[in-house]
């Protein structure tokens, strides 16, 4: 018999899931670790967080297969090595496939803000190569490059390695919070 708020024949919302998954048993060993809630970053007194730059109005022409290697002046070479080679491990990733330029720009800005709040340093942004029939040049690739070049938290960016998408993705080194 159901409660006064539920109709008598209300379906169990988890029944379909349990039927699809089947019987389960708990894993042996230590209980799962409790993950603390994400701490909200605190801005030191007298300092305001730097706002990301607006999206560029005019984008440069960039060929689909072009590779990119940019770094702010003064970034140590040992820090740049974190972006190079096959040992790169992204702490977060954003895939912009299927988005319009406006949607991609907003998603990129939100992603960078979230990564900074979470303390991520190495991230991957997949923008695709932009090779579509009837379209000679990519749209998202120059948008991503120009947006990242002007962002105050971005120290360096590189085209990804072959296993990470090559010229269709960027490896980004962010300033530590």
Sequence ranges of the domains in the chain: 81-174
Residue 33 has pLDDT above 70, yes or no: no
The confidence score (pLDDT) of residue 40 equals 46
Q: Are 82 and 88 in contact (CB under 8 A)?
A: yes
Does the model's pTM come out above 0.75? no
With H, G, I as helix, E, B as strand and everything else as coil, classify residue 70: strand
- Render pLDDT for 66-124 as a digit per residue (tens, 0 to 9): 777 888 888 888 878 778 777 788 899 999 988 888 888 899 999 999 999 999 999 99
What CATH topology corresponds to 81-174? Ribosomal Protein S8; Chain: A, domain 1 (3.30.1370)
Residue 65 to residue 58: CA distance in whole angstroms: 20
Measured in Å, how far apart are the chain's first and last C-alpha atoms? 54
The confidence score (pLDDT) of residue 43 equals 43
Alpha-carbon distances, residue 158 vs 26, 51, 71, 125, 169 (angstroms):
43, 23, 9, 10, 9
Higher-scoring residue by pLDDT: 107, 50: 107
Contacts of 145 (CB under 8 A, 6+ apart): 60, 62, 68, 70, 157, 170
Round the average pLDDT of the chain to a whole number and report it: 75
The confidence score (pLDDT) of residue 58 equals 56
Q: Are 64 and 130 in contact (CB under 8 A)?
A: yes
Residue 2 has pLDDT above 80, yes or no: no
Confidence of residue 165 (pLDDT cuts 50, 70, 90): confident
- Render pLDDT for 87-102 as a digit per residue (tens, 0 to 9): 788 899 999 988 888 8
Structure-block tokens of residue 91: 């702490």
Residue 42 to residue 106: CA distance in whole angstroms: 23
């Amino acid at each position: 018999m159901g409660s006064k708020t539920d109709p008598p024949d209300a379906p169990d919302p988890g029944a379909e899931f349990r039927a699809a998954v089947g019987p389960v048993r708990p894993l042996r060993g230590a209980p799962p670790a409790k993950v603390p809630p994400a701490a909200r970053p605190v801005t030191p007194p007298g300092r305001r967080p730097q706002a990301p730059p607006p999206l560029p109005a005019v984008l440069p022409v960039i060929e689909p297969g072009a590779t990119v290697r940019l770094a702010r002046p003064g970034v140590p070479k040992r820090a740049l090595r974190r972006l190079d080679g096959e040992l790169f491990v992204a702490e977060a990733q954003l895939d912009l496939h299927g988005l319009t330029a406006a949607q991609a720009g907003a998603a990129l800005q939100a992603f960078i803000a979230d990564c900074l709040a979470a303390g991520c340093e190495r991230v991957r942004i997949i923008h695709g190569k932009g090779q579509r029939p009837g379209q000679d040049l990519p749209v998202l690739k120059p948008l991503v490059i120009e947006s990242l070049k002007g962002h105050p938290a971005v120290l360096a960016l590189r085209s990804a390695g072959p296993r990470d998408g090559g010229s269709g993705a960027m490896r980004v080194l962010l300033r530590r919070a």
